[in-house]
């Protein structure tokens, strides 16, 4: 009886993916405990974040893809309108206009766009008959450019690029022509020197520092330099849990959020990094597998985009902390402290599970 109820309750949960997520969250709590200077408060509030996120995941997994398909357009329109509202009435903090004050709470509409963007584009391509032509891609490109432009204006370059890439994944998976892709890549590279020559000296200097933080060790480069020292000094097997000197001596900035990977790396070393990369790879492979088995254009594009989006967050974060990518404010998925990013991620995974477990219904 109880086992029946249990099975019914979790019939839309993908056991394998769920196990991977649990493992990652488990690791997150350990790293967070060390990064926060052994703060029980931080841990308990992250546990609350995880609980809420898992609730969202369960709800999303139980909503059928068809229902999602129906609200895609609405979600996108609401998202864009909220972004416009932000541009007009948003509250400014740290020199950027990102938040919308609703009176009782503050929301950041760019977070909504992370999910709404792939939903919208997947829905759009699902409505096209047969193989989408050039016009479809142009329209999709415009649908993509509008919110990305609005977020870029806030300004939030990091988020806008990540949302752009999440939309781009849909275009790519929907069959954007290779000729176009290669042509765009080549012309972009060709235009780079022209663009560079148009910049002011101080703008160039900023970009140089972005890519080479050692040029400004007292200012913007300080974080990256300290993070690299933390990673490098971790060595093959790490200094051990709670023993990272860079971490415990306060050298690392933002250690519980954007730079948590440096803490992990310092304490668990190269071995830990490989295991984490492995775990992320397994999650991504599982996601891609779900995508390849999905049975409608909408679900397969959506599943593919959500999975690749997870990848870009993981890659950009680890890349920036280890100094091969410029520092943009992106958390490490599943590991960093923070409710918003955890909820958004789990919403994505919930949708993935929904796609996987509803597929027989779709086939019918």
Partner 1 sequence: MGAELKNYQLEQHYFRVRLGVAAIIVFALFTALAFRFSYLQLKQYEHYQTLAENNRISLVPIIPNRGLILDKNGVVLAHNFFAYTLEITPAKVSDLEQTIAEIAKLVEISSLDRKRFKRFREQSHSFESIPIRTHLNELEAAKFAVNHYRFPGVEIKSRLFRHYPLGKTASHMIGYIGRINDKDLENLEKSGDLSNYKGSDHIGKSGLEQYYESYLHGTTGFQQVEIDADGHAVRVFSSNPPIPGDNIVLSADIKMQEIAETAFGDRRGALVAINPKTGEVLSYVSQPTFDPNLFVDGIDSENWKMLNESLDKPLINRPLRGVYPPGSTFKPFVALAGLEAGKRLPPYSIQDPGFFTLPGNRHRYRDWKPSGHGTVDMQKAITVSCDTFFYGLAQELGIENLTNFVRHFGFGKRSEFDIKGEIEGLLPTPEWKKRRFKQPWYPGETVIVGIGQGYTLVTPLQLAQATAILANNGVAMRPHLVNEIQNARSGQSQIVPHKILDRVQLNPNNVEIVKRGMVDVTMPGGTAASVGANAGYSIAAKTGTAQVIGIKQNEKYNESAINERHRDHALFIAYAPADDPTIALAVIVENGGHGGSAAGPIARKVMDYYLLGKLPAEETSNNTKMATAVENAPEEALHD
Residues forming the site for partner 1 (CB under 8 A): 130-131, 169, 172-173, 175, 216-220, 228-236, 245-246, 249, 251, 265-266, 269-270, 273-274, 277, 280-281, 284-285, 288, 291-292, 297, 300, 304, 308, 311, 315, 318-319, 322-324
Closest to partner 1 by CB, 300 vs 356, is 300
Contacts of 287 (CB under 8 A, 6+ apart): 17, 303, 304, 306, 307, 310, 352
Closest to partner 1 by CB, 76 vs 280, is 280
What is the distance between the alpha carbons of residues 253 and 18, in angstroms, rounded to a whole number? Answer: 31
Q: How far is the CB of 86 from partner 1 (least distance, A)?
A: 23
Closest to partner 1 by CB, 13 vs 24, is 24
Report residue 247 as tokens. Answer: 């971490």
Closest to partner 1 by CB, 30 vs 270, is 270
Distances (CA, A) of 157 to 29, 36, 60, 96, 321: 29, 28, 29, 11, 17
Closest to partner 1 by CB, 123 vs 311, is 311
Q: Which helix (H) or strand (E) holds 56?
A: helix 40-62
Q: How far is the CB of 235 from partner 1 (least distance, A)?
A: 5
- Length of the chain equals 364
Closest to partner 1 by CB, 137 vs 169, is 169
Note the helical H segments in 93-177.
109-127, 134-152, 157-173
Q: How far apart are the first and last CA of the chain?
A: 29
DSSP β-bridge partners for residue 106:
101
Q: How far is the CB of 186 from partner 1 (least distance, A)?
A: 18
Report residue 130 as tokens. Answer: 């047969």
Q: How far is the CB of 249 from partner 1 (least distance, A)?
A: 6
Closest to partner 1 by CB, 99 vs 169, is 169
Q: How far is the CB of 177 from partner 1 (least distance, A)?
A: 11
Beta strand 96-101 with 91-93 is antiparallel
| Strand ranges, E, within 8-153 | 91-93, 96-101, 106-107
Q: How far is the CB of 318 from partner 1 (least distance, A)?
A: 6
Q: How far is the CB of 88 from partner 1 (least distance, A)?
A: 24
């Amino acid at each position: 009886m109880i086992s029946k109820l249990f099975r019914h309750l979790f019939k839309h949960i993908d056991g394998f993916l769920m196990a991977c997520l649990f493992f990652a969250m488990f690791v997150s709590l350990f790293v967070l405990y060390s990064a926060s200077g052994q703060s029980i408060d931080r841990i308990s509030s992250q546990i609350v974040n995880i609980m809420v996120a898992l609730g969202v995941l369960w709800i999303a997994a139980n909503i059928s893809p068809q229902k999602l398909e129906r609200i895609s357009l609405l979600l996108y329109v609401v998202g864009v309108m909220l972004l416009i509202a932000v541009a007009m009435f948003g509250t400014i903090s740290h020199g950027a206009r990102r938040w919308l004050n609703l009176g009782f709470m503050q929301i950041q509409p760019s977070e909504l766009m992370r999910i709404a963007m792939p939903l919208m584009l997947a829905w759009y391509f699902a409505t096209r008959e047969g193989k989408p032509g050039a016009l479809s891609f142009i329209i999709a490109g415009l649908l993509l450019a509008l919110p990305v432009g609005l977020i870029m204006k806030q300004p939030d370059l990091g988020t806008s690029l990540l949302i752009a890439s999440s939309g781009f994944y849909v275009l790519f998976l929907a069959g954007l022509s290779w000729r176009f892709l290669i042509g765009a890549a080549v012309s972009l590279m060709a235009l780079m020197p022209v663009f560079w020559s148009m910049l002011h000296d101080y703008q160039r200097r900023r970009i140089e520092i972005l890519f080479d933080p050692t040029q400004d060790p007292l200012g913007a480069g300080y974080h990256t330099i300290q993070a690299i020292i933390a990673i490098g000094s971790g060595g093959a097997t790490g200094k051990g849990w709670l023993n990272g000197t860079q971490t415990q001596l306060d050298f690392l900035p933002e250690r519980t959020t954007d730079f948590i990977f440096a803490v992990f790396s310092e304490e668990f070393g190269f071995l830990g990094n490989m295991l984490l990369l492995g775990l992320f790879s397994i999650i991504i492979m599982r996601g891609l597998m779900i995508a390849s088995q999905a049975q409608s254009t909408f679900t397969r594009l959506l599943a593919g985009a959500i999975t690749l989006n997870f990848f870009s967050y993981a890659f950009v974060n680890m890349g920036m902390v280890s100094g091969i990518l410029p520092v943009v404010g992106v958390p490490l998925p599943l590991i960093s402290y923070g409710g918003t990013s955890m909820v958004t991620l789990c919403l994505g995974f919930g949708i993935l599970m929904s796609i996987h477990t509803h597929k027989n219904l779709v086939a019918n």
